[in-house]
Amino acid sequence: MAAENVVIAVRVSGDIVTARQAGRELAAKLGFTLTDRTMIATAISEIARNITSYAGSGEIRLSIDDREGRQALIVQAEDQGPGIHDIPRALEDGYSTGRGLGLGLPGARRLMDRLTVDSSPGQGTLVEMWKWVPGGA
């Protein structure tokens, strides 16, 4: 599988739609089911919305790479925002430091096969999540 890297700058709400569509298109090329494509697109929306809500701007990177010995569609969301002070708490349903419902990170984690968060106060945030590429793709 050729490495495909797509980078979408996220600054305004319309960029969330662009990132979501790019993720859906890449997932379709990789042979994901319609249900999986929808879950991937929704997870991208959630983490891209976190960028516009909390950091102001950042980027979403889509790629195909090896994770734990298997091919995966990888989504990275990175920003230089205020960072997340309490990552375990941010991954709990209902916890939000803003006006949201607190479903962004925990929701994205449920939709994808894995989700990791690397963040510290004042240093921005990197969220990486992935979904295994279906067998035979």
Q: Please report, for the chain, how many H helices and E strands are present, in that order.
A: 4, 5
How many C-beta atoms lie closer than 10 Å to residue 136's C-beta? 5
Which residues, including other chains, have CB under 8 Å from residue 64's CB and lie 6 or more apart? 1, 3, 4, 26, 30, 71, 72, 73, 74, 133
pLDDT of residue 63: 97
Query: Which pLDDT band holds residue 18 (cuts at 50, 70, 90)?
Result: very high
pLDDT in tens, 83-122: 998 899 888 887 776 666 556 899 999 999 999 999 988 9
| Alpha carbon distance 15, 10 (integer Å) | 5
3-state secondary structure of 46: helix
Pairing, β 114-119 against β 70-79: unpaired
The answer to whether residues 41 and 107 touch, using CB atoms and an 8 Å cutoff, is no
Residue 135 has pLDDT above 90, yes or no: no
| Alpha carbon distance 135, 46 (integer Å) | 27
Residue 50 has pLDDT above 60, yes or no: yes
| Alpha carbon distance 98, 30 (integer Å) | 35
Query: Which pLDDT band holds residue 37 (cuts at 50, 70, 90)?
Result: very high
